[in-house]
Amino acid sequence: MTFSSLSRGLFLAALAAACVLPAHADSVASSASSAGSASSGSISDSIGGSSNSSNGDRRVAAGQYRVIDIAQAPAKAGTTRMTLRAVAEAGREFYLDVPERALAGRRVNKGELVQVNERVYGYEFAYADSQRPFFLALQDDWYRELGSRQVTI
């Protein structure tokens, strides 16, 4: 699926609004609106290969993952690192760095399931039991477009 510059810009604006507005912002746009108070980050800053991963692959596939470890992310204050292991595919494991503000409403505990959904902009991470997103890992170019810019007239 490709977006024109205008469509992509509108989607990014909706995504940004959904990430900062209260959870009742559900009418903004499909995934962005369902994110409610979810946080976002770039894929390169948020997802990494686990040292236990058989291939060190950074790719993530849609599906359910079990949280096998939770710790403070190294050298990232205010960030939780979750190590996730695919339920359906042995050997697929990666870590996800999530800002603690994304987990303020509900923590993710060791042993819980996380649902990963592939989206045109990257990956949506949701609580498996409620399907409520808590974090969006955006492709780096999408994430850069969300950055604040000074407006001059």
Burial classification of residue 137, based on how many CB atoms lie within 10 Å of its CB (0-12 exposed, 13-18 middle, 19 or more buried): buried
Residue span of the structural domain in which 33 resides: 5-146
Report if residue 44 sits inside a domain: yes
Q: How many domains are contained in the chain? A: 1
Asked if the model's pLDDT at residue 120 lies above 80, the reply is yes
Q: Which residue has the higher pLDDT, 19 or 39?
A: 39
Residue at 119 is within a domain: yes
User: pLDDT tens digits, residue range 60-95?
Assistant: 899 999 999 999 999 999 999 999 999 998 888 999
pLDDT band at 27 (very low <50, low <70, confident <90, very high): very low
Cβ contacts of 41 within 8 Å, gap of 6 or more:
97, 98, 99, 135, 136, 137, 138, 143
Residue 152 lies in a domain: no
DSSP state of 54: S
151 assigned to some structural domain: no
Question: Mean pLDDT over residues 105-126, rounded?
Answer: 94
Evaluate whether residue 79 is within a structural domain. Answer: yes
Q: What is the pTM of this model?
A: 0.68
